[in-house]
């Protein structure tokens, strides 16, 4: 009867939506210390947030592609002696500006949300 769709794995659904618009910031941030390749970024993110902000590689690669197209990162293939070739990403100057901008954007949003949610809680 078209109901109980909003039940079971909602938790994942919400996390997914909350992540929206934050991933570019996350990736740019992870690239700030220096270059890294895709697979590395995935594990870096999992490690640095204790699994709180995990993504799969299928999610990450499109993000990296977007960042490249926008000129925020440059790409370098490293064909190694042994192992599969790696694609290293590095921030451009524009990318660093964008990182600052997104960081500001995110912080403003989070502040506004935090302020709103705190309202009406003061009396308790």
Tell which one of 43, 59, 70, 76 touches a second copy (CB under 8 A). 70
Structure tokens at 56: 């799969």
Binders of a second copy: how many residues, by CB under 8 A?
Answer: 42
Q: Please count the residues of the chain.
A: 124
Alpha carbon 90 to chain centroid distance? 16
97 binds, among DNA, a second copy, none (CB under 5 to 8 A by kind): none
Binding mask 86-105 for DNA (x = CB under 7 A): xx------------------
For tokens 């700030």, name the residue. 32
Identify whether the C-beta of residue 95 lies closer than 8 Å to the C-beta of residue 73: yes
Q: How far is the CB of 30 from a second copy (least distance, A)?
A: 8
- State the Cα–Cα distance between residues 34 and 124, nearest whole angstrom: 47
| Region 81-110 residues binding a second copy, contact defined as CB under 8 A | 102-103, 105-110
Cβ closest to a second copy, residue 78 vs residue 90: 90
The three-class DSSP label of residue 93 is: helix
Cβ closest to DNA, residue 20 vs residue 122: 20
For tokens 């993000």, name the residue. 63
């Amino acid at each position: 009867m078209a109901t109980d769709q909003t039940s079971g794995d909602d938790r994942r659904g919400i996390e997914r939506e909350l992540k929206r618009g934050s991933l570019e910031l996350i990736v740019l941030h992870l690239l700030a210390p220096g270059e890294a390749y895709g697979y590395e970024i995935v594990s870096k993110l999992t490690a640095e947030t204790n699994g709180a902000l995990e993504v799969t590689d299928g999610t990450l690669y499109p993000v990296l592609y977007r960042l490249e197209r926008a000129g925020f990162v440059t790409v370098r293939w490293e064909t190694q002696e042994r192992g599969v070739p790696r694609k290293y990403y590095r921030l451009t100057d524009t990318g660093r500006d964008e990182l600052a901008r997104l960081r500001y954007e995110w912080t403003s949003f989070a502040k506004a949300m935090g302020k709103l949610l705190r309202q009406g809680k003061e009396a308790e």
